[in-house]
Chain A
């Protein structure tokens, strides 16, 4: 936000004194504002340091290397009570990222589906979509989280009466347990095959594009790519003798043991954030599609482009330009809303940071870390979306 003097009169010589010069005045006000702001920041910082000193509270980030002493229920990386506070924060950050990325992915899919559903000519689909949007958009996210968490806990069976699902999966109020894949010798070949398939797909796509530019002939690119990416690794997998076994969950004394578990805390937070944010994304998508003038569709039809291609090549690219900027805000909101995890005991950055804050008493340091991390996450998301937006923008010649 640049506070600038917007209009400068064209070469009109200041008739009176310098005090009446709008340009000088503009600069003067800005300088005053800056000085007041700087003085305020200095005053707050100085008071804080003084008061910390008086209360005998040491400050600094040295505490991060201390032994954490507590355990974390959900962790993507190895963590024990012997690990450092730093690693505990990393565990929290990864958990935040996990729920944010999964949430953004699902919210986008549900949001697009519901948004398009609202424009449907089918009365039932349109009204259901409308109800969905109005319900979820008008409930505070914390309530949605509680709804899922209490719902999940109350409805799911106790561990001893776990519901058996297909593929050796089990569902109880401790979460969803599923077989953990254990990779045997030779699984690297499958990974290698996948990399080759992806590289080949990119090459094929380039070739197809060039061919269409040169001759106007189109190449069945989708099927080729699908065949490559799925077929090649699958062939390699069987050729190397299926090098994978599964650690299946079995009933233990208290709960199922073995396998992997997705806890109810993650599930409910993930579902709540997805459903809540999807309601907003649906409205953005609807607005985006509505925003493309009907004349565009009619013009495309007049040129003889088929309806499906019209949507793909004419309507959606133009709608995306309207959709992407507000979509970015929704992604940022979802990431920030994930900090509501504390309410249901999901070990996200705020929950873990809060524990550390309490154990060490380093309130200012921990709060600063929270601010810096969320700021960085949001700025990174913004940068990515701006880049994506620039790619999608109308190319003007």
Chain B
């Protein structure tokens, strides 16, 4: 483990290439390599997990594919770097990955001191608790004295300390570095409680030996805005990553889907025409350093935001997470894209 961080550090120090990209060359660098190096979770069903033959899929993985599609018109031009909570930041800082799409919470510390940029929140989450039904616990406030399994190096670990302290509850943290280790320890009964982002709990419950024996408590104790992160100092790359997300949202708002995107190009709606880059003299993509077809390519590769959500974590997936805050702004949620104009 420590070796991995060291490699990243030495890589950053000796090569000097990684962070050179921060001066505005990430896009050129990616184009030269021919693929996007994407930092993802080591295996969180619904968000990023490899299947038996090593193909990655999930909500975060679709963001990697969408970025690749925007650049190369081909969503498969991605290489994945699975990172633990602890490894993810050095991996991005050192330039080992171009973008980190890994259920990472946007906080002021990470945005400033760690040298990253977060902007589009692709999933509004909050921290929750999972317990065994046999404990007969109905609320997180009844958890005093419990052993709590948590992953190290997460905002979750800090929120947990704050929540128990402010409610005058005692607990015994059982801390692991890898998600798989936390799962195994909770499943083996080492802890009474498992805490992480609520979306994560739904996903993890599926991997337990008896999912029906466990329940998720109603309390949400924190705001966890999750989204892709990039290094500070490369505004062009930052813009691309941001606008890929906004394009997914905008497509859902316009009703453009993976299936009908070619048809929608013939739409007479000027907003849609502009968005899909079919307007005369369009500069909608070239200003970003991409082609004008970039939004079309993104939607062809992964569909719109609603499709990405449903397929991986929503109604069309085993996780069945409600849209909730992640519905579009005009449908009761807070997902919103600035105008494409």
Contacts and interface: CB of A to CB of B under 8 A. Distances in A.
B19 A54 contact: yes
Nearest to A355: B152
B259 interface: no
Contacts of B231: 55
B145 A255 contact: yes
A173 to B, nearest CB: 6
A16 interface: no
Given A255-B145, A345-B175, A358-B86, A57 B233 contact: no
A359 to B, nearest CB: 7
B93 A71 contact: no
Contact of B93 (A354, A361, A367): A361
Interface in B123-178: 135, 144-147, 152-154, 157-158, 160-162, 164-165, 171-177
Given A71-B161, A255-B145, A367 B176 contact: no
Given A56-B233, A158-B189, A350-B2, A345 B115 contact: no
A350 B18 CA distance: 26
Contact of B158 (A173, A253, A265, A359): A359
A174 B147 contact: yes
A70 B5 contact: no
B13 interface: yes
A343 B152 CA distance: 12
Q: Does more than half of chain A's interface fall in helix, strand or loop, or is it mixed?
A: helix
Contact of B14 (A44, A73, A153, A345): A44
Interface stretch (A45-53, A107-115, A185-193): A45-53
Contacts of A339: 2
Given A153-B185, A153-B188, A56 B232 contact: yes
Interface string B12-26: 111010111011000
Contact of A359 (B16, B18, B153, B233): B153
Given A69-B158, A71-B173, A345-B175, A354 B1 contact: yes
B90 interface: yes
A358 B161 contact: no
B86 A354 contact: yes
Given A56-B115, A73-B174, A154-B188, A254 B146 contact: yes
A57 B113 contact: yes
A375 to B, nearest CB: 14
B89 interface: yes
A50 B188 contact: no
Nearest to B114: A361
A192 B292 CA distance: 86
B74 interface: no
Contacts of A72: 173, 175
Contact of A367 (B2, B177, B190): B2
B279 interface: no
A339 B146 CA distance: 27
Contact of A44 (B13, B152, B172, B174): B13
Contact of B157 (A58, A70, A345, A364): A70
Nearest to A339: B2
A370 interface: yes
Contacts of B114: 57, 361
Interface in B289-331: none
Contacts of A357: 5, 86, 153
A128 to B, nearest CB: 31
A363 interface: yes
Contacts of A173: 188-190
B181 A345 contact: yes
B192 interface: yes
Contact of B162 (A55, A81, A150, A364): A81
Interface in B1-43: 1-2, 5-6, 8-10, 12-14, 16, 18-20, 22-23
Interface of B: 1-2, 5-6, 8-10, 12-14, 16, 18-20, 22-23, 85-86, 89-90, 93, 109-110, 112-115, 135, 144-147, 152-154, 157-158, 160-162, 164-165, 171-177, 181, 185, 188-190, 192, 231-233
